[in-house]
Structure 1
Amino acid sequence: MKVLQVLTRIFLSREQLEASVSFYESLFSTQSSLRESFEGGIEAVQVGPLLLIAGPEQALGALKATQANFLVDSLSEWQAYLRKNGATILDGPKQAPTGMEMRVRHPDGTWIKYVQYEDSVYSC
């Protein structure tokens, strides 16, 4: 049971997305490794340790409560661990375009999305 990577979320307007992707690809000397489109005009792009999330402000509002994504090796093991240690499962586990995910409120109030990517999408 491991957290494989922590992705910091950065929220942007759609107009800022491509320039931001280019900037962070240059900053981290890497190419984006994931790009997904979602309902409501939301697009998410991973560049290194960042998850750039772009869309209309109205659609982004509900997403901003979640501070980070934790990429994990076994969502079911983390679910059991988190429940046993005082966290609250807010949403999921459920299937998402990238794999299985759940949103969790930690005992300190922090909201984190736990994601177990499918091998075809991402490898840590």
Structure 2
Amino acid sequence: MPVVRTYTRVYVDDLDTALPTFVELTGEQPSLRFPYRDLELAAIGGHLLVAGTPEALAPYRATHATLIVTSLDEVLALVDALGGEVLDGPNTVPTGRNLTARHPGGAVLEYVEFHAEARATMQ
């Protein structure tokens, strides 16, 4: 279950306002952009921008990072074996399947297993 990419989460009020700064910082254009529930998300460089109202963002703010993995099932087994807790998921999401877990020690991470179309956006 190798981690193939890690995105630092950046919570923003408005995606269109925030993106130009990250385009300049990274020298890249967003590789992914999609709506999810009441949020808008964009992956750019090593960042996942998560945009929404304070109320929409509130349930997600405790999540520290998003890790793209080759097998969500292996993540589930690892979380269980190490005494972690699955907080949400597995779910079907626009990019594949995800889950959010709290690890021993308190880190809260989202794991995503990309479907083929999302994998094709990775450089």
Identity of aligned residues (%): 33
The answer on 1:52 being equivalent to 2:52 is no
> What secondary structure, in the 3-state scheme, does the structure 2 residue paired with 1:66 have?
coil
CA contact (8 A) 1:34 1:122 kept: no
TM-score (ref. length: structure 1): 0.91
Amino acid at match of 2:13: S
Structure 2 CA distance for aligned equivalents of residues 25 and 39 of structure 1: 25
Aligned residues: 121
Deviations 1:58-83 (A, max 9, x none): 11111101111011011111111221
Deviation at 1:49, TM superposition (A): 0.5
> What secondary structure, in the 3-state scheme, does the structure 2 residue paired with 1:62 have?
helix
Amino acid at match of 1:67: H
RMSD value, Cα: 1.2
Given candidates 106, 109, 112, the residue that maps to 1:109 is 106
Residues 76-91 of structure 1: pairs in structure 2 closer than 5 A: 76-91=73-88
CA contact (8 A) 1:105 1:111 kept: yes
Structure 2 CA distance for aligned equivalents of residues 38 and 51 of structure 1: 13
Residues 1-80 of structure 1: pairs in structure 2 closer than 5 A: 1-14=1-14, 17-40=15-38, 42-80=39-77
Task: Give the unaligned 5+ runs of structure 1.
Answer: none
Instruction: Tell me whether 20-29 or 102-111 shows the greater mean CA deviation.
Output: 20-29
Structure 2 CA distance for aligned equivalents of residues 109 and 119 of structure 1: 31
CA contact (8 A) 2:34 2:42 kept: yes
TM-score (ref. length: structure 2): 0.91
Task: List structure 1 runs of 4+ shifted beyond 4 angstroms.
Answer: none
